[in-house]
Structure 1
Amino acid sequence: MNSFFKILKRFVPPYKKYVAGSLLSNVLSTLFSLFSFGAIIPILQILFGIETASYSYQAWSWTESLGHITSAWKNNIFWFITSTIHEQGAIATLAFLGLFLVVTTFFKTGLSFLANYCIVPIRTGVLRDLRRDIYAKVLSLPLAFFTEERKGDIISRMTGDVAEIENSVISSLDMLFKNPIIILIYVLTLFLISWQLSLFVMVLLPVSGYFIGLVGKKLKSRSLTGQQQLGQLLIRIEETLGGLRIIKAFNAEKKMKESFAETNEQLRKTFTRLDSRYLLAHPMSEFLGTVVIAVLLWFGGMLILTHHSHVTAPTFIYYLIIFYSIINPAKDLSRAVYSIQKGMASLERIDKILKAKNTLTIAEHPLPLPAFHEKIEYSNVWFKYQNEWVLRDISLTIEHGKTIAIVGQSGSGKSTMADLLPRFYDVDQGEILIDNINIKDVQLYELRALMGYVNQEPILFNDTFLNNIKFGVDNATEEQIIEAAKIANAHEFILASEQGYETRIGDRGTKLSGGQRQRISIARAVLKNPPILVLDEATSSLDTESERLVQNAIDQLMQNRTSIVIAHRLSTVKRADEICVLHEGQIVERGKHEELLALNGYYKRLYDMQSF
């Protein structure tokens, strides 16, 4: 329950007025229910003619004790009823009592509706805030967080776990704001009627509560297992959708179906046990409540029949009605507790995202970085993802307007060098400077605004050509977008599509060829017009014709910009101002193309292998 109250403390404060409205309405609704039940006593006394006492009006004030006020109210109510019987007759009095019952029930049900109505904005608002915070947190976390998490499991937390919280935790808000109030007021009323009977009940309730608690004991752990298995199922689905081409090419449909079926069956068994235990809560609490009622009926009847209690038979029936009215709120409260236990597992999985620490240190007083004029400098940079060093003592200066190429075998650290510049990751030792300012001392937004990216695998969205090109540049005009597409050699094939720039390109641009996707990615970088450009294997996966078109687009994009080019194909970096050769995380050679060939070292070997 501590986690539940923490989530309330975290999300409910913006909805304080709705909480206050719900609590006040529940208190008033409960009081009106007591008044409506109270009409039973005089009705029974009139019907059975068992009231023979005479009453006179008794004065009282708010400064007196609670017992005296209660006694005075009870006396005056019976005085009014007996006076009405004498003046109007028993039948007329019954009509008045029936009208009183109708009026109090109307207010009771109306206030109960108002209390539930106040809960609706809280439920929907808290859920909206939770989704918003998770999504915002996912966007703010560094890439290092996602290298240790599987995408399918994160999707499961953002969908399945949020749905579970909605179904269990959030849906229990009305029960938790309503039922404790009802139970508290009813219990106080029971003690005012007869403290002996109420003490006897207080002995019975913990025993029944113990048995009810046994049902919900393992709900949280089993629910956690179920949500983890659901995450595995979504991982299977995500991997299947992403790898359909390979699955079909290797005739692996049967293997994938068997793997999915195994995970799916484990999930079914877990939720079967979980739901069975959850469903047991309602009948068990109802049965135990009936047992308590039966024992109470015996005990109270014995006290009345043996004249060991001041409680009369009609008052005892009123007592039983109030006590029986506690059972449903108590059942709902126990069900809410079970639901919360069931949902806490999902909340813990979501909190793993919400409470994840951002490893990127943000400067308290960031320095301004409005533009880029002089140079980029890697100064004695060391970096590792986990245990092994990926980059070792990298020192490199990139002058403004120059093109630097980084080459080397796979795994040498080329892409990692590029990823450190926009602070996708932070260096472990050393520093990276732009115009002699450490990139850790500036705002991330200003730092990344200086850069444009063209990756080996173009990242496009299931949207139109126009929206993909202007992604991140909201104020771009249509003329600027078209000009960017022309520079990227993309304008012609965009116009040839069904709806031109308004044509949707499919999930990740699946309706386009590899070269077309890459040219859209280049057009996006052209439109951003960044002073620093990073090209990460931008042509390595293309055929010769597509590579020529993309390379022409890249050549236009690189004009008058500071460029960092990562390449396997050495033919694309011949014209670079400087080529750096990485080997096992270190710069082992640097210079122009002809100079490196003359060294007859690492670069010469790479060049000869590609020439061959």
Structure 2
Amino acid sequence: MKTYLRILQFAKPYSRFVPLYTIYTILGIIFGLLNFTLLIPLLSVLFGTVGTDDAAAMVTTKPDFTLSLEYFTDYFNYHFGQVILEKGRQGALLFVCVIIVCSVFLSNLFKYLALRVVGALRAHVVKKIRHATYERVTQLHLGYFSNERKGDLMTRMTVDIQEVENSVVNTMTVVIREPISIIAFFVVLFTMSVKLTLFTLILLPLSGVLIAGIAKRLKRAAQQGQESLSFILTIIDETLSGIRVIKAFNAEPHIMGKFNEQNDRYAQLQRSIANKRDLASPFSEFMGVTVVAGLLWFGGNLVLNQQSDLKAEEFITYIVLFSQVLVPAKAMSAAFSNIQRGLVSGDRILKVIDTEPQVTDKPNAKVLPEFHHEIKLQDVSFGYGERPVLQDINLRIQKGKTVALVGPSGGGKSTLADLIPRFYDPTAGAILIDGHDIRDYTAVSVRDKIGVVTQESILFNDTIFNNIAFNKTDATEEEVMAAARIANAHEFIARMPEGYQTMIGDRGSRLSGGQRQRLSIARAILQNPPILILDEATSALDTESEKLVQEALTNLMKNRTSVVIAHRLSTIQHADEIVVLQQGSIVERGSHENLLQHGGLYAKLTQMQLVS
């Protein structure tokens, strides 16, 4: 119930939907009820129990207005009696048929108008849920994505939201319409016969209890089904990303085995869910028919023994009306069963939305001023959960200088670089830019001062132009081409079939590694940041590409403050300072020559690379 109420919050503002839907629903129900209550005069005419010779049995005086069901019944009977007196039974039959047609038309018209409101409500709710989920995903820290499977996140943002739309949002109409319908029908039934209606109220709750038990089991199976589907999407994502490795290792049977295992499990769970869900509708129908049969036996005996106030035509109408109570009751039971899968999906979506980002702006966060002097890391420590990664880092980077971070893998180089643009916040100590603690300023204003070029070129399935001008929507063609020239990318772009408007494929798959990296550098050049972070920007390239990319990086680093992470120590020999990290601590620092003379870890790493 808590999940359902949370999902309802996304329907705000309710004033746009609920009043109109309620009005249309009530009018549709009223005219729907009128269709069935008109059976009494229709049957009276057909059975010959009312006619011109039965004037005494008709209402001959126009009733005074009162807001009650009795007034409307007497008012109709008065006009019905006038028609019988003036036009006879055939005229009365035509009159009732015309009224029924008009009533059915109005009933269905208001049902249609209600469905239009529901359509708008459904689109509104799903749009807001999808927006909230995607927004929260973009706000979460990088560590969150390391701990979560990408396939599971994709399932939550696509399949789960679709499931919420299909089962939860669609049942919002049932929550309003069907209870009103049931109440309206029972009001009419009570006015017709209190004794018979009380008899039905004893039998109906039994089916409700049994259906609730089925729904509880359905929710448990639905939860397992969604988890299994997320595993399938994870396998598909890994297959598409690693298809080259799969083929190289002849691993198609292995990956197919993993896929089939999850696929079979999901199919089995879906069968179990379908069996339980499909049981609710026929079971409720069987219980409904059982109740109607009991009502026929009980009420029929009363009518036959003349112990009931109902006439034969009234009893038939009562049975027809009661059978219509089963329609909304059946709809509610079916909705109650179907909603379980949606509630499971709703829980999974809300879990993402409720995840608090670890890197957030303070309520009074300001915009970081222009960078003028230095970056300072002061007693900085950081860890992923209980695992420490950096310990008591103290480092000063003067404006315009290049600082290189080197050391064995796992030493904390990339983590230290990630702290500067606030991808993470330190667990202890502070990072200062010109004396300002970056946690006191908005993350956006901090990252505006920083350009990042990583080992893996992150490109998008778009044109070359749009990849270079990423998030700089006002960039002109001349600016993009100038950035590409500085990055040594203009020549290969000019040779492309459509130049700067060439589509580069998923993650830039139509380009070579060197070309992708030069586009990433061109993107950073266009941003024109005063601070650069280069994380293994040339380590994955061949010699020719590395030379071109290194020239592009040299152009990029001119007059900028740079933090360079490198495994190839030959690329950072001219850095103003080299910082050697081991097991999260700074063990050496100095220039290339000084560190070689010192004969420590840096000299050992350099010697190992020369030998190799």
Match of 2:15 in 1: 16
Match of 2:565 in 1: 566
In the alignment, the residues of structure 2 paired with residue 484 and residue 74 of structure 1 have an alpha-carbon distance, to the nearest angstrom, of 83
- Counterparts in 2 of 1:262-273, with a 5 A limit? 262-273=261-272
Match of 2:521 in 1: 522
Contact persistence 2:60–2:81 (CA under 8 A): no
- The Cα RMSD (Å) is 1.5
Letter of the structure 2 residue corresponding to residue 451 of structure 1 = I
Match of 1:57 in 2: 61
Q: Once the 2 structures are TM-superposed, how far is the Cα of residue 15 of structure 1 from its aligned partner? A: 5.2
Aligned residue for 1:216, secondary structure, equals helix
Q: CA offsets, 1:557-592, max 9 Å, x none?
A: 000101001111111111111111101111111111
Letter of the structure 1 residue corresponding to residue 35 of structure 2 = S
Q: Once the 2 structures are TM-superposed, how far is the Cα of residue 14 of structure 1 from its aligned partner? A: 3.1
Q: Once the 2 structures are TM-superposed, how far is the Cα of residue 75 of structure 1 from its aligned partner? A: 3.6
Contact persistence 2:455–2:535 (CA under 8 A): yes
Match of 2:394 in 1: 395
In the alignment, the residues of structure 1 paired with residue 72 and residue 408 of structure 2 have an alpha-carbon distance, to the nearest angstrom, of 92
Match of 1:5 in 2: 5
Letter of the structure 1 residue corresponding to residue 211 of structure 2 = I
Match of 2:90 in 1: 91
Identity of matched residues, %? 45
- Counterparts in 2 of 1:441-460, with a 5 A limit? 441-460=440-459
Match of 2:143 in 1: 144
In the alignment, the residues of structure 2 paired with residue 471 and residue 430 of structure 1 have an alpha-carbon distance, to the nearest angstrom, of 33
Contact persistence 1:384–1:391 (CA under 8 A): yes
Match of 2:608 in 1: 609
Match of 2:367 in 1: 368
Contact persistence 2:377–2:396 (CA under 8 A): yes
Contact persistence 1:57–1:76 (CA under 8 A): no
Letter of the structure 1 residue corresponding to residue 546 of structure 2 = E
Aligned residue for 2:578, secondary structure, equals strand
Q: CA offsets, 1:317-361, max 9 Å, x none?
A: 221121111111211111111111121111111112111111123
Q: CA offsets, 1:75-114, max 9 Å, x none?
A: 4433432333223211111111111111111111111111
> Unpaired runs of 5+ in structure 2?
none
In the alignment, the residues of structure 2 paired with residue 283 and residue 100 of structure 1 have an alpha-carbon distance, to the nearest angstrom, of 34
Given the two structures, how large is their TM-score scaled by the length of structure 1?
0.96
- Counterparts in 2 of 1:377-416, with a 5 A limit? 377-416=376-415
Match of 2:495 in 1: 496
In the alignment, the residues of structure 2 paired with residue 541 and residue 84 of structure 1 have an alpha-carbon distance, to the nearest angstrom, of 94
**Does 1:251 find its partner at 2:255?**
no
Contact persistence 2:65–2:71 (CA under 8 A): no
Q: Once the 2 structures are TM-superposed, how far is the Cα of residue 58 of structure 1 from its aligned partner? A: 6.1
Contact persistence 1:19–1:119 (CA under 8 A): no
In the alignment, the residues of structure 2 paired with residue 280 and residue 407 of structure 1 have an alpha-carbon distance, to the nearest angstrom, of 65
In the alignment, the residues of structure 1 paired with residue 548 and residue 71 of structure 2 have an alpha-carbon distance, to the nearest angstrom, of 97
Match of 1:153 in 2: 152
In the alignment, the residues of structure 1 paired with residue 242 and residue 367 of structure 2 have an alpha-carbon distance, to the nearest angstrom, of 45
In the alignment, the residues of structure 1 paired with residue 77 and residue 607 of structure 2 have an alpha-carbon distance, to the nearest angstrom, of 110
In the alignment, the residues of structure 2 paired with residue 74 and residue 448 of structure 1 have an alpha-carbon distance, to the nearest angstrom, of 74
Q: CA offsets, 1:505-539, max 9 Å, x none?
A: 11111111111111111000000000000000111
**Does 1:43 find its partner at 2:42?**
yes
- Counterparts in 2 of 1:542-557, with a 5 A limit? 542-557=541-556
Aligned residue for 2:171, secondary structure, equals helix
Q: Once the 2 structures are TM-superposed, how far is the Cα of residue 481 of structure 1 from its aligned partner? A: 0.3
**Does 1:291 find its partner at 2:290?**
yes
In the alignment, the residues of structure 1 paired with residue 132 and residue 244 of structure 2 have an alpha-carbon distance, to the nearest angstrom, of 35
Match of 1:226 in 2: 225
Letter of the structure 1 residue corresponding to residue 37 of structure 2 = G
In the alignment, the residues of structure 2 paired with residue 132 and residue 236 of structure 1 have an alpha-carbon distance, to the nearest angstrom, of 26
In the alignment, the residues of structure 1 paired with residue 447 and residue 384 of structure 2 have an alpha-carbon distance, to the nearest angstrom, of 21
Contact persistence 1:40–1:318 (CA under 8 A): yes
In the alignment, the residues of structure 1 paired with residue 299 and residue 198 of structure 2 have an alpha-carbon distance, to the nearest angstrom, of 12
In the alignment, the residues of structure 1 paired with residue 466 and residue 59 of structure 2 have an alpha-carbon distance, to the nearest angstrom, of 84
Letter of the structure 2 residue corresponding to residue 287 of structure 1 = F
Aligned residue for 2:471, secondary structure, equals coil
- Counterparts in 2 of 1:78-117, with a 5 A limit? 78-117=77-116
Q: Once the 2 structures are TM-superposed, how far is the Cα of residue 368 of structure 1 from its aligned partner? A: 2.7
Letter of the structure 2 residue corresponding to residue 379 of structure 1 = Q
Letter of the structure 1 residue corresponding to residue 340 of structure 2 = Q
Q: Once the 2 structures are TM-superposed, how far is the Cα of residue 397 of structure 1 from its aligned partner? A: 0.8
Aligned residue for 1:217, secondary structure, equals helix
Contact persistence 1:57–1:75 (CA under 8 A): no
Counterparts in 2 of 1:94 and 1:417: CA distance versus 1, 3 Å: same
Contact persistence 1:190–1:319 (CA under 8 A): yes
Q: Once the 2 structures are TM-superposed, how far is the Cα of residue 172 of structure 1 from its aligned partner? A: 2.2
Contact persistence 1:4–1:340 (CA under 8 A): no
In the alignment, the residues of structure 2 paired with residue 242 and residue 115 of structure 1 have an alpha-carbon distance, to the nearest angstrom, of 46
Match of 2:338 in 1: 339
Q: Once the 2 structures are TM-superposed, how far is the Cα of residue 214 of structure 1 from its aligned partner? A: 2.8
Aligned residue for 1:13, secondary structure, equals coil
Match of 1:261 in 2: 260
Q: CA offsets, 1:215-271, max 9 Å, x none?
A: 222111111100100000011111111111111111111111111111111111010
Q: How many residues align?
A: 606
In the alignment, the residues of structure 2 paired with residue 261 and residue 87 of structure 1 have an alpha-carbon distance, to the nearest angstrom, of 77
In the alignment, the residues of structure 2 paired with residue 6 and residue 313 of structure 1 have an alpha-carbon distance, to the nearest angstrom, of 50
Letter of the structure 1 residue corresponding to residue 529 of structure 2 = P
Q: Once the 2 structures are TM-superposed, how far is the Cα of residue 70 of structure 1 from its aligned partner? A: 3.6
Q: Once the 2 structures are TM-superposed, how far is the Cα of residue 19 of structure 1 from its aligned partner? A: 2.4
Match of 2:24 in 1: 25
> Unpaired runs of 5+ in structure 1?
none
Letter of the structure 2 residue corresponding to residue 585 of structure 1 = G
In the alignment, the residues of structure 1 paired with residue 81 and residue 240 of structure 2 have an alpha-carbon distance, to the nearest angstrom, of 80
Q: Once the 2 structures are TM-superposed, how far is the Cα of residue 167 of structure 1 from its aligned partner? A: 2.2
Q: Once the 2 structures are TM-superposed, how far is the Cα of residue 31 of structure 1 from its aligned partner? A: 0.7
In the alignment, the residues of structure 1 paired with residue 381 and residue 27 of structure 2 have an alpha-carbon distance, to the nearest angstrom, of 67
Between 447-456 and 294-303, the greater mean CA deviation after superposition: 294-303
In the alignment, the residues of structure 2 paired with residue 93 and residue 198 of structure 1 have an alpha-carbon distance, to the nearest angstrom, of 30
Contact persistence 1:15–1:122 (CA under 8 A): no
In the alignment, the residues of structure 2 paired with residue 335 and residue 156 of structure 1 have an alpha-carbon distance, to the nearest angstrom, of 25
Q: CA offsets, 1:15-48, max 9 Å, x none?
A: 5323221111110111111222222111222222
Letter of the structure 1 residue corresponding to residue 533 of structure 2 = V
Q: CA offsets, 1:191-213, max 9 Å, x none?
A: 12212111111100011222222
Aligned residue for 2:431, secondary structure, equals strand
Match of 1:328 in 2: 327
Aligned residue for 1:359, secondary structure, equals coil
Given the two structures, how large is their TM-score scaled by the length of structure 2?
0.96
Match of 2:467 in 1: 468
Q: Once the 2 structures are TM-superposed, how far is the Cα of residue 54 of structure 1 from its aligned partner? A: 4.6
Between 99-108 and 220-229, the greater mean CA deviation after superposition: 99-108
Q: Once the 2 structures are TM-superposed, how far is the Cα of residue 2 of structure 1 from its aligned partner? A: 3.1
Aligned residue for 1:391, secondary structure, equals strand
Match of 1:196 in 2: 195
In the alignment, the residues of structure 2 paired with residue 569 and residue 225 of structure 1 have an alpha-carbon distance, to the nearest angstrom, of 48
